[in-house]
A and B are shown apart, each in its own frame.
Chain A
Amino acid sequence: MTVTASVSAPRVTRAPVKRRIWSYWRFYLALSPFYVLFAVFGLYPMLSTIVLAFQRWDGLSARRFTGLDNFAFLIKDPTFWQALENTVVLFLMSTVPTLVLALVLAVMLQSAVRFTNVYRIAYFIPNVTSLVAMAIFFSSIFSTNFGLVNAALRSLGIPQQDWLGQPWGIKIAISTMIVWQWVGYNTLIYLAGLQAIPKEQYEAAKVDGAGAVRTFFSITLPQLRPVVLFTVVMSTIGGLQTFTEPQVMVGNSGGTGQSGMTVVLFFYRAAFLDNDYGYAAAIALSIFALVLLFTAINWRIFRGRGEDR
């Protein structure tokens, strides 16, 4: 009696509000696991983080309210700015090649007729592997004396490089790993987007005498816009939270010149190595602000232009 499918719900009788809400208890019970878990392990800690950001606390002694001190210190902390810069640079160095390569591969894959499933599976495998294992792998191939990259350079007569001992080398090694891991995933998403474009549009373009390049830029790319937005947003959220790759490849210090120090690694260090919880909370809030800012920017770039609203 109490359970009624949405379509057949007769909205004739109006029971007192209390009873009406109560009669839906099964639905609320069904939804409760997520909301209870979120309240306990999500919302409550997040609110505590906001409070903590205005306090000084080492986890043992009493908390001390210090107002905006953590933020004032954060703004003056060169490591924070370094971490911010590294994160954005790494994000660009990995996301741009990833998405461009993915688009190229997707277009090629679309015109391939045979073995497409084999390619899809092969391209996706990097995405479902152990992150730590692969970070170790990439640090091994970029190793100075014994790494495969340097072995390849030497056999070409190019002097070896100290990849993981130099600021730019560290960034190249980290972004290479991210590119390797995410190209296939984005390829598949672009491929699905390409296949959703109506064939008539291509035929019309052909009739109008448009070449391959013209067709790509005036039909394929605009039609793909929502899918591109999706991949950019996902890459942004992931990229701004890069932690495992630098932590495993160059360690908690962030490596030479702290050039592998990302904001999340910076946060991890402040909270769980230095036990500077209030400061870590301020960093966490700045990460959140960063994610919001970048999401808003993406939204404007990809949704704002060329649309009616």
Chain B
Amino acid sequence: MTRSKLRGIALHAALVLATLVFLFPFVWTIVMASNTTADIYRFPPKFTFGGHFGDNVRHVLENVAFFQSMANTAIVAVSTTVLVLFFDSLAAFTFAKFRFPGRNALFVILLATMLLPAQLAAVPQFQTMALLGWVGSLKALIIPGAANAFGIFWMRQYFQNSIHDELVEAATLDGCGFFGTYWHVALPSARPALAFLGIFTFVGSWNDYMWPLIVLTDPDHVTLQVALSSLNRAHGVDYSMVMTGALLAMIPLVIVFAVFARQFIKGATEGAVRG
């Protein structure tokens, strides 16, 4: 065997090892979710998949309103994503392709907001929610996050590079209004960028923890993350059940990621290098 061949094998061995490390928590979660807690507590622990997944799921459903919180999370994540995609791309298209008084100042303000930590607003924001009567309502999660600076910045980069000014001009000459040009020219051409922003927003919204913990006061109307943490707090000794809940909470994300993985990874890396 040649030296370069040996190097190639060593390289892939290292890369496969890293893959195993990254994927191990998922495998072990399934192992725990399919065994009884007693099996997990044994020494040495049981390393194989068991047949108790059904029982564990039943225990999860008995202890938290799992489907309710999954539905809440889905409503929040889907509506946030749709709103963000629409509002951010519309604003980004405007910034990228049109001139108007105050454009640069508005854009600088937009960039500056990205440095502000969320905690800076959390206390008065809670008071605002109380004033609006939105405490305990999913609106409190959806509306404040319906447009964001990162998405506008991200989409603007894309529109600047991918849509020629001539195209916008031609559409305008053809009688497409401003909105028509956005809808018929800009949006269809921005699919990859929208796919990335969409998954990014969906995952972020699905995973949001602190704000739902604060603003969703009724234990029956929480999101999945909050339900999961309360399950852990109350039944932390029953690992199998808690890990079953954790597994169920991850499945939708893994599916979304699996469907869009290629586009997402392409988008994620392009933005960093350009930015």
Contact = CB atoms under 8 A, between A and B. Distances in A.
Interface in A115-152: 115, 117-126, 128-134, 136-141, 143, 145-146, 148, 151
A64 interface: no
B147 A37 contact: yes
B232 A248 contact: yes
A52 interface: yes
B268 A30 contact: no
Interface in A52-86: 52
Most chain B CB inside 10 Å of its own CB: which residue of A4, A28, A33, A292? A33
B229 A248 contact: yes
A287 B121 CA distance: 12
Contacts of B147: 33-34, 37
Contact of A124 (B44, B245, B265): B265
A6 B23 CA distance: 49
Contact of B228 (A136, A291, A295): A136
Task: Name the interface size band of chain A.
Answer: 35 or more
B243 A137 contact: yes
A26 B97 contact: no
A285 B120 contact: yes
B87 interface: yes
A117 B15 contact: no
A178 interface: no
Given A49-B123, A137-B29, A146 B99 contact: no
Interface string A258-278: 000000100110011000010
Contact of B254 (A9, A118, A129): A129
A192 interface: yes
B144 A41 contact: yes
B108 interface: no
A131 B11 contact: no
A144 B14 CA distance: 30
A288 B207 contact: no
A41 B209 contact: no
Interface string B109-124: 1100101111111111
B234 interface: no
A38 B121 CA distance: 11
Most chain A CB inside 10 Å of its own CB: which residue of B15, B172, B247? B15
A216 interface: no
A173 interface: no
Main secondary structure, interface of B, reads: helix
A267 B209 CA distance: 15
A92 interface: no
Contacts of A132: 207, 209, 225, 228-229, 232, 246, 249
Contacts of B26: 125, 129
B88 A131 contact: no
B272 A193 contact: yes
Contact of A284 (B41, B119, B169): B119
B190 interface: no
B61 interface: no
B252 to A, nearest CB: 9
A4 B173 CA distance: 9
Interface string B241-275: 01101110110011011000110110011101101
A173 to B, nearest CB: 13
B143 interface: yes
Given A37-B144, A148-B45, A287-B120, A189 B268 contact: yes
Contacts of B15: 105, 108-109, 112, 115, 119
A118 B230 CA distance: 35
Contact of A287 (B119, B125, B166): B119
A13 interface: no
B254 A151 contact: no
A191 interface: yes
Nearest to B269: A192
A224 to B, nearest CB: 10
Given A41-B121, A287-B119, 4 more contacts: A33-B87, A126-B22, A129-B253, A288-B117
24 contacts: A6-B98, A8-B169, A31-B95, A33-B147, A34-B91, A52-B123, A108-B15, A119-B18, A124-B264, A126-B22, A130-B206, A132-B207, A136-B228, A136-B229, A143-B239, A148-B45, A154-B43, A183-B22, A189-B273, A192-B270, A244-B210, A251-B233, A288-B116, A288-B120
Interface of B: 11-12, 14-15, 18-19, 21-23, 25-26, 28-29, 32, 40-41, 43-45, 87-88, 90-91, 93-95, 97-101, 106, 109-110, 113, 115-128, 143-144, 146-149, 152, 165-166, 168-169, 172, 177-179, 181-182, 199, 203, 206-207, 209-210, 213-214, 224-225, 228-229, 232-233, 239, 242-243, 245-247, 249-250, 253-254, 256-257, 261-262, 264-265, 268-270, 272-273, 275
